[in-house]
Amino acid sequence: MPRRRHKTEEIPAKLRQADVLMSKGRSVADAVRAIGVTEVTCYRWPQKCGALKTEQVKRMKELAPESARLRRTVSDLTLDKMILADALAGPNGRCELNASS
């Protein structure tokens, strides 16, 4: 059986389909076979996006690049702040803004 990568938007629908099949009395093995995934995948998917609806998964996927960009920006600014604080603290560890006094 060739390996198939399911789209993120398909996962909630497949999970609901498996839940419906299991609620009708089919075993887990039969339900996952019917939706075309393995049992391991069926148990792993709810951890990833089990309670989300298709629209929410799409929105989350759209926001991921912006979230990564913002995380990088915050880490860069934090690093800049730490560098400036180290530069202001002289060799004795105190702030040397008023070196003339």
pLDDT, tens digit, 9 for 90 and up, residues 77-98: 999 999 888 888 876 766 665 5
Helix axes 28-35, 39-49, angle to 10 degrees: 80
Q: Check the CA dihedral 2-33-9-56 and report its sign.
A: negative
User: For residue 2, what is the enclosing H or E element?
Assistant: none
Q: Is the pTM of this model over 0.75?
A: no
pLDDT, tens digit, 9 for 90 and up, residues 22-72: 889 888 888 888 888 888 887 787 777 666 676 777 787 888 899 999 999
